[in-house]
Amino acid sequence: MSVKRKDQAYIAGIFEHPTRHAPETSLVQLHAECALGALKDAGLSASDVDGFFGARDIPGSNANWFIDFMNLKLKHIDSTDAGGCSPLIHISHAVDAIASGKCNVALITLAGRPRSEQMKTGTAPRPGEPDRPDSPWEVAYRPTISTAYAMMMARHMHEYGTTAEQLAWIRVAASEHAKHNPHAMFNKPVTVQEVMNSPLVAPPLRRMDCCVISDGGGAIVVVSPAIARSLKNPLIRVIGSGHTVYGQNAGYGNMTTSGAAVSGPIAFNEAGVTAQDFKYASIYDNFTIMVLMQLEDLGFCKKGEGGKFVSDGKLISGQGPLAINTDGGGLCNNHPSNRGGITKLIEATRQLRGTAHPSVQVKNCDLAMACGPGGFIGTGYAHATVVLERV
């Protein structure tokens, strides 16, 4: 039985840090600037915050040190980490905490400096801790983020006839959106041919199938209804959420389906909506294939027909039934800390407020969603979906 979220909590503040390269600052400073930016957007102060939500991207791997650094006086903390989708989980935890009276002003931050740290996010094997259960069985084979998604792409092409050209359209749409975003890391439009001619990273995956490696971050402030109504911003609330860990089922997994097939229906059922109700969606775009698979698994099109759904510019705002990632997404705009969760929530909120760039703003956008994966595809792979509405 789903329980409809009623007048429980609202998104009062959002902030996306304008930097994409921050060699001269520190990680904690980025978190602080994001926090203060979102609080300013809400019309609140850090002294109003009584709940904090943050993941392992916070220095120290949990929130303790950052809370002390900010000198926050809290009643509720949540250091849930599920990889890049963590903020998509934090926001529903924040709503629940406010609804149950644990706190009234919840702050969520995410930040990172992988570009300044010259991290090879996709192409260097990312070893887990030795005691992680998959380590004895996988680390010696040197899988990387790019080899994992390359195999998903190869398998989807094999099973459904999806083509590199169809996937390239996802990057083209992102670049057409990013050209309106002065902060985007890449804001020059690209063509299908340019995507298909970009260097191979791990065949069939090419460089332009991959998201950016950027410094930066973002923050979100969620508040109780009474506080939201005392502030100036439009009332945006969470009406559905779902989380899962979509593992490899002990050797019987399916590489052409994403965790959105689990978290999406949970969130949509709670909200009482279907995919066809959305005109805007933030779909975590770490790789082009992940966008296509999530769109299929959420029900925007039938399984295997994602290639047709994303082709010919149909994902560009104003050119099809659904616009996605109108900030330029992770593919062209921003992917701070190698984690896409917060930027996905921020652009969905902009769309609902009507404050996206006028060239990409979806008309009368009163329903939106944000979703994405977290962790490592295969052995430790989470997924979260959130449905948002403007009241």
Q: Which stretch binds another protein (CB under 8 A): 59-67, 150-158, 187-195, 347-355?
A: 150-158
391 scored as a contact of another protein (CB under 8 A): no
Least spacing, CB of residue 107 vs another protein, in Å? 36
Q: Which stretch binds another protein (CB under 8 A): 153-161, 179-187, 215-223, 285-293?
A: 153-161
Q: Which amino acid is residue 164, in one-letter code?
A: A
Interatomic CA distance for residues 60 and 380, integer angstroms: 21
127 scored as a contact of another protein (CB under 8 A): yes
* Structure token digits, residue 272: 């009482």
253 scored as a contact of another protein (CB under 8 A): yes
Q: Which member of 59, 204, 234, 354 binds another protein (CB under 8 A)?
A: 204
Rg (CA), the chain: 19
Q: Which member of 1, 24, 71, 141 binds another protein (CB under 8 A)?
A: 141
Least spacing, CB of residue 289 vs another protein, in Å? 12
Is the Cβ–Cβ distance between 340 and 285 less than 8 Å?
yes
152 scored as a contact of another protein (CB under 8 A): yes
Interatomic CA distance for residues 205 and 149, integer angstroms: 8
Interatomic CA distance for residues 55 and 80, integer angstroms: 6
150 scored as a contact of another protein (CB under 8 A): yes
Q: Which member of 18, 68, 200, 319 binds another protein (CB under 8 A)?
A: 200
155 scored as a contact of another protein (CB under 8 A): yes
221 - beta bridge partners? 13, 107
Least spacing, CB of residue 206 vs another protein, in Å? 10
Q: Which member of 18, 21, 64, 124 binds another protein (CB under 8 A)?
A: 124
Is the CB of 154 or the CB of 196 nearer to another protein? 154
Interatomic CA distance for residues 260 and 321, integer angstroms: 20
Q: Give the sign of the dihedral formed by CA 149, CA 388, CA 46, CA 19.
A: positive
255 scored as a contact of another protein (CB under 8 A): yes
Residue 346: strand, helix, or coil = helix
Phi, psi of 309 (to 5 degrees): -65, -35
113 alpha carbon, distance to own chain's centre: 17
HSE-up (13 A, CA, CB side) for residue 245: 13
Interatomic CA distance for residues 383 and 258, integer angstroms: 8
For residue 376, give Cα distances in angstroms to 75, 82, 84, 155: 32, 10, 10, 18
Least spacing, CB of residue 166 vs another protein, in Å? 18
Is the CB of 106 or the CB of 202 nearer to another protein? 202
| Burial class (CB within 10 angstroms; exposed 0-12, middle 13-18, buried 19+) of 232 | exposed
Q: Which member of 202, 322, 371, 386 binds another protein (CB under 8 A)?
A: 202
Of 326-385, which residues contact another protein (CB under 8 A)? Answer: 378-379
Residue 329: strand, helix, or coil = helix
Size of the site for another protein (CB under 8 A): 41
304 scored as a contact of another protein (CB under 8 A): no
12-41 CB burial, b ≥16 within 10 A, e <16? bbbbbbebbebeebebbebbbbbbbbbbeb
Q: Which member of 125, 313, 320, 354 binds another protein (CB under 8 A)?
A: 125
Q: Which member of 144, 241, 286, 288 binds another protein (CB under 8 A)?
A: 144
Is the CB of 249 or the CB of 364 nearer to another protein? 249
Q: Which member of 108, 201, 220, 275 binds another protein (CB under 8 A)?
A: 201
Q: Give the sign of the dihedral formed by CA 172, CA 260, CA 284, CA 10.
A: positive
The contact set with another protein (CB under 8 A) reads 123-125, 127, 130-144, 146-147, 150-152, 154-155, 158, 200-205, 248, 250-253, 255, 378-379
